[in-house]
Amino acid sequence: MNTKLDQLSADAAIGIAVNQAMFYQGVSRTELSRRVGLSQPSISLKLRGKVTWSVTDLLNVATALGTTPNALLPQPDGEGGWIPAPFVPGYAKAPALAGASAGWAHRESNPEPTD
C-alpha cells in the first residue's frame, strides 16, 4: 500500500476507471454487481480500492461495460503510485443507449461541410 496520501494504489486507480465507464453508460453499482455476479458490497469495496481486483473480476467487469480490460488498467506514476487509465468515451464498443443508434457512423457517412 502506498504511504503518500496523494498516491493511488493500482486497485484504486482501476476503481476510478471503472467508475468513469459506469457513469458514462449510466450503470449503477447494483446493476454492475448483477451483470458480473458479485455482491454489491464487494463491487463497492473494489471501486473504492479497498479490495484487490482479480484478473477474472477485471475481465468480467470490462465485458459487462462493453470495453476491454486494457482500457481500465492504470499506468505507474514513477513515484510508487498509479495513474488511472484515461477515460475515452467510445474507446470500445459500448452498448447503445436507449433511443440511440445501434451502430457507429462511418467516416465517409459524415462528409465535410461545403462552403
Task: Give per-residue pLDDT as tens, 34-57.
Answer: 999 999 999 999 999 999 999 999
Asked whether residue 101 carries a pLDDT value surpassing 60, the answer given is no
Residue 79 and residue 105: Cα distance in Å, rounded? 42
Please give the grid coordinates belonging to residue 110. Answer: 459524415
Please give the grid coordinates belonging to residue 49. Answer: 480500492
Asked whether residue 104 carries a pLDDT value surpassing 50, the answer given is no
**Confidence band for 99, pLDDT divided at 50, 70 and 90:** very low
Residue 8 and residue 4: Cα distance in Å, rounded? 9
The pLDDT, as a whole number, for residue 28 is 95
Asked whether residue 113 carries a pLDDT value surpassing 90, the answer given is no
The pLDDT, as a whole number, for residue 87 is 77
Neighbouring CB atoms inside 10 A of 102's CB total 6
Mean pLDDT of the chain: 80
